[in-house]
Structure 1
C-alpha cells in the first residue's frame, strides 16, 4: 500500500488543477479516475456540446444565406461528420490534459473506481476487477455528477438517449422528443432542430428556464417557437414504449396526450456521483439528494477530506469546479480563508442567442427584498446586431439605487457570455452604472450597447 500526501478522486475540472497545484509544492498525489481524464467538461459536456452547437450555428447561418445576399442552391447536414469533428476536439483536449498531467513526476494517475475503506484509505477497483489500496494524508472528492433518469413506466430497456449518448448519433433524428426544458435540454433542442430534426420539448414547469425572469423566459420561448421547436408546458411523461420509434404518454393540463418520435432524450437534470464512494466508512455526511455536505471552504465532516464541484453541490459549471480547486488548495495548504460565499457565480447557456447571467435577477431581488433599479436595452436597437442581422434578445441590468453599483445582469444576446464577463468585472471592481453609461466604448461593437443599457436606468 502506497501512502500519498494527497489522494484525489476524479480527474475532472477540480481534480486536474488541484493535482497540479499540490504537486507543484513538492507533495505526492494519487489522481484516481474511473473512466477518462478530463471529467464531464472535456468528454461529455462543455467541449463536445459547444463543438456541436457551432456546427448547428453554421447550418443555421447557411439556411439564412439569402438574407445576406448569398444565394446557395442547397445544403445538407452530415451527422457523421458532425460527430467526427466533435470526437476530434474531445480527443485533442483530453490528450492535452493527459500530457500535462503525465509530465509531473509527483502525480500518479490510477485508473479505476474508488471507494473509502476508512477515512484515510481508498480501494481502487480496475476495469478487470483487480484491486489496490492507497492512503492519503488529505483526500479530495471530485467525482462529479451523472444524468438523472426518472422512474417512468416502460423507460428502462428502451434505447433512450442521455446528454452523453445523444452526441454519439451518426444520423439526424427525424423527430427528437426531449424530456426536460432546462439548460441542457434547450441546447440540444435548438442544435438538433438546426440539424434538421423535428423537436418537441416536454417540460414539467410552466415556462422554459423558469429560474430566469419572466421576460427572459418569454423571449426564449418566442425564439424557439420561431425556429419551429414545439414545447408542452406543465406536462409530465407517464409512460414510454418503443417499437421502431418512441411513443410517450404525457399528462398535460388538457388531459393525456400521446406523442411519437424517432428518438427520446432524457434531460431531466443530474445527480451527484456519491452513492458508490463508501462514504458510510467515514464521518462524511450527505444531503437528502446525495450531495456531500461541506463548509464554506469545501471541507467535509472529516477535517482532512474536501469535496469539490458537482458532487459537493457547487453550482454545476466547469468554471466553478475549477474555482473550487483554488478554494480547497488555499484552505488545505495555505491557510487562507477564501470562502465559496464570497464569489460571484456567472454562467452562460449556449443557445442562440446566448443566455448569460451574473448576480441577481429581478425575481431573486424581489424574493430577498433587495431594492433595485433596472435598465433594459433591446438588441433590435443595437447597431452591431443590426449590421450582422442578429437582433433577438436584450441586455438587462439591476443596480443599487443608492450606491449605483451593479447587482446583477442578464444578457440574452449574440455573444452574451462575453458581455456578461464585462459586467462581472465591473461588479468585482465596484464600477458604478453611471460611469459605464458615459464610457467611450469602441464603435461599432456589441459592448458599446452597455452605454445604452445604463442610460435606460431611471
Structure 2
C-alpha cells in the first residue's frame, strides 16, 4: 500500500492545477489518469473545437469576401488539413500540460483506471494489468463527463459520430444530421455548414438555446436559418437504419412519423458523468439519479475527506469553472479558508458566430426568483464597430436592479461576445452602476464603447 498526502483521480482542468497547488506546499500527490493528460478541454473539447471553428469562420468570411469588395474566384475545404491543424493544437497544449506536471516536485502521475476500494483507499488498474494500491488522507475526484449515447433502435448498426469522433473526419459530410440542439450540437452545426455540408438538426425541444430568454432564442434561430442550417423541432428520434451509403432516420413529430436521410450522423444530446467505474459505493459516496456526485458547498462528498470537482458534479460544465473549483477547494482544504462555491458568478460563452455569452441572471431566472429588474438592450445593427466590419447580428442585453442601478446579469450575442461579457462580469464584481459606465470614456471605435449606449438604454425596453 503506497501512502500519499493526496490522491487525485483525473488529470483534467481541476485535477492538474490542484495537483500542482498541493505539491507546491510540500505534499506528495498521486495524480491518476486513465486516458490522456489534460482532460476533455485540451483533448476533445475547448481547444480542438475552437481551432476548427476558426477554420470554419475563415471559410465563412471568404464566402463573404465580395461584400467587402474583395473578389475571390474560388476556394475549397481541405478537411484533412483542418484535422491536422486541430491535432497540432491538441498536441501543443497536451505537451504543455505534461511539462507543467513534470516540473511540479511531489506529483506522481499514474496511468490507469482509478477506483475506490475503501473510504480513503484507491487502486489503480494499469494498462498492462498491474494493480497499485494507494491511500491518502484527502482524495479528489475529477473524472469529468462523456457523451450520452441514447438507446435508439438500430443505433448499434450505425456508424454514428460523437463530439470527439466528428473531429477526426478527413472528409466533409455531404449531409450531416445532428440529434440534439444543445450548445455542442449548435457549434458543430454551424461549423460544418460553413465547411459546405448540408446540416439538419433534430431536436426534441421547441426552440434553440431554451435556457436563454425568448429574444435570444429567436435571434439565434434567425442566424442559423439565414446560414441555411435546417432545424426540426419537437422531433423524437425513433429508429436508425443504413440506407445505401447513408443513414435513414425515423422520427416522431407531433404524432406523425417522418424520415430524413443523411450521410453522417452526430449524436449530441448531452453528456453524463464518468463515475460508473469508480466503485463509489465502496467509499459510500452519494450520487444523484444521473450519477453526478453530490457535494456540499465546499466540494466535500458524503465521505469525509473525499472531494469532487469539475464536470463530474454536473453543476457548471465549463472548463473555467472546473479550474476555479481547484482554486476554491484548495483554499478550503489546505488553507482553512472556507469559501463557498455558491458565492461566485458563472460566466459562459457558446462559440457559435456571433458568440453567445452570459453571466448572472437573465429575464427567465429573474422572474422565477421574483427579482425586480429593468432591461437595457443595444442592437449591433446600430453599433459603430459592427457596422464598420459588417458583423451586425445580435445585441447586448443587461438586467439592472432599479433600486441601485447595479447590473444583475447580461446576455451578449455579438461578434466577440465573450470578451464583452467578461467586461460586464468585472463591472458586476466591482459593484459599479450603470451611470458610471454610461459616461465612461471608452476608446473609439471599439466594440466595448457600445457599453456606453447599452447603459443609456436601461429602462427603455
TM-score, normalized by length of structure 2?
A: 0.98
For residues 196 and 44 of structure 1, the distance between their equivalents in structure 2, rounded to whole angstroms, comes to 23
The equivalent of 2:28 in structure 1 is 28
- 1:329 has 2:330 as partner: yes
The equivalent of 2:5 in structure 1 is 5
Measure how far apart 1:133 and its partner are.
1.3
Which secondary structure does the structure 2 equivalent of 1:340 belong to? coil
For residues 440 and 256 of structure 2, the distance between their equivalents in structure 1, rounded to whole angstroms, comes to 55
Measure how far apart 1:312 and its partner are.
1.6
The equivalent of 1:123 in structure 2 is 123
Which secondary structure does the structure 2 equivalent of 1:342 belong to? coil
Measure how far apart 1:302 and its partner are.
1.4
Moved over 3 A (4+): none
The equivalent of 2:262 in structure 1 is 261
Which secondary structure does the structure 2 equivalent of 1:153 belong to? coil
Counterparts in 2 of 1:154-193, with a 5 A limit?
A: 154-193=154-193
Measure how far apart 1:165 and its partner are.
0.4
Measure how far apart 1:253 and its partner are.
2.0
- 1:213 has 2:213 as partner: yes
For residues 46 and 53 of structure 2, the distance between their equivalents in structure 1, rounded to whole angstroms, comes to 10
Counterparts in 2 of 1:32-181, with a 5 A limit?
A: 32-181=32-181
The equivalent of 2:351 in structure 1 is 350
The equivalent of 2:432 in structure 1 is 431
- 1:448 has 2:449 as partner: yes
Which secondary structure does the structure 1 equivalent of 2:207 belong to? coil
Which secondary structure does the structure 2 equivalent of 1:146 belong to? strand
Which secondary structure does the structure 2 equivalent of 1:123 belong to? strand
Larger CA deviation: 242-251 vs 442-451: 242-251
Which secondary structure does the structure 2 equivalent of 1:167 belong to? helix
For residues 104 and 454 of structure 1, the distance between their equivalents in structure 2, rounded to whole angstroms, comes to 46
Q: Note the alpha carbon deviations across 1:392-432, whole angstroms, 9 max, x for none.
A: 00000000000111000000000000000000000001011
Which secondary structure does the structure 2 equivalent of 1:338 belong to? coil
Measure how far apart 1:21 and its partner are.
0.2
For residues 86 and 337 of structure 2, the distance between their equivalents in structure 1, rounded to whole angstroms, comes to 40
Verify the 8 A CA contact 2:24 2:105 in the aligned structure 1.
no
TM-score, normalized by length of structure 1?
A: 0.99
Q: Note the alpha carbon deviations across 1:103-153, whole angstroms, 9 max, x for none.
A: 122000000011101111111112222211111111000000000111111
For residues 129 and 201 of structure 2, the distance between their equivalents in structure 1, rounded to whole angstroms, comes to 41
Instruction: Report the aligned-residue RMSD.
Output: 0.8
For residues 376 and 103 of structure 1, the distance between their equivalents in structure 2, rounded to whole angstroms, comes to 48
For residues 177 and 246 of structure 2, the distance between their equivalents in structure 1, rounded to whole angstroms, comes to 11
Counterparts in 2 of 1:360-375, with a 5 A limit?
A: 360-375=361-376
Which secondary structure does the structure 2 equivalent of 1:143 belong to? coil
For residues 242 and 417 of structure 2, the distance between their equivalents in structure 1, rounded to whole angstroms, comes to 39
Q: Note the alpha carbon deviations across 1:65-105, whole angstroms, 9 max, x for none.
A: 11111101100010000000000000000000001101122
Verify the 8 A CA contact 1:308 1:314 in the aligned structure 2.
no
Q: Note the alpha carbon deviations across 1:15-65, whole angstroms, 9 max, x for none.
A: 000000000000000000000000000000000000000000000000001
For residues 71 and 254 of structure 1, the distance between their equivalents in structure 2, rounded to whole angstroms, comes to 49
Which secondary structure does the structure 1 equivalent of 2:41 belong to? helix
For residues 256 and 359 of structure 1, the distance between their equivalents in structure 2, rounded to whole angstroms, comes to 41
For residues 340 and 157 of structure 1, the distance between their equivalents in structure 2, rounded to whole angstroms, comes to 43
Verify the 8 A CA contact 1:249 1:256 in the aligned structure 2.
yes
Which secondary structure does the structure 1 equivalent of 2:209 belong to? coil
For residues 245 and 129 of structure 1, the distance between their equivalents in structure 2, rounded to whole angstroms, comes to 40
The equivalent of 2:385 in structure 1 is 384
Counterparts in 2 of 1:276-355, with a 5 A limit?
A: 276-355=277-356
Measure how far apart 1:254 and its partner are.
6.3
For residues 115 and 158 of structure 1, the distance between their equivalents in structure 2, rounded to whole angstroms, comes to 32
Residue segments in structure 2 that go unaligned for 5+ positions in a row: none
Which secondary structure does the structure 2 equivalent of 1:268 belong to? coil
Measure how far apart 1:157 and its partner are.
3.1
Which secondary structure does the structure 2 equivalent of 1:108 belong to? strand
For residues 222 and 315 of structure 2, the distance between their equivalents in structure 1, rounded to whole angstroms, comes to 31
The equivalent of 1:231 in structure 2 is 231
For residues 142 and 53 of structure 1, the distance between their equivalents in structure 2, rounded to whole angstroms, comes to 27
Q: Note the alpha carbon deviations across 1:155-180, whole angstroms, 9 max, x for none.
A: 12311000000000000000000000
The equivalent of 1:14 in structure 2 is 14
Measure how far apart 1:313 and its partner are.
2.2
Verify the 8 A CA contact 1:314 1:320 in the aligned structure 2.
no
Verify the 8 A CA contact 1:83 1:170 in the aligned structure 2.
yes
Which secondary structure does the structure 2 equivalent of 1:293 belong to? coil
Verify the 8 A CA contact 1:396 1:453 in the aligned structure 2.
yes
Which secondary structure does the structure 2 equivalent of 1:178 belong to? strand
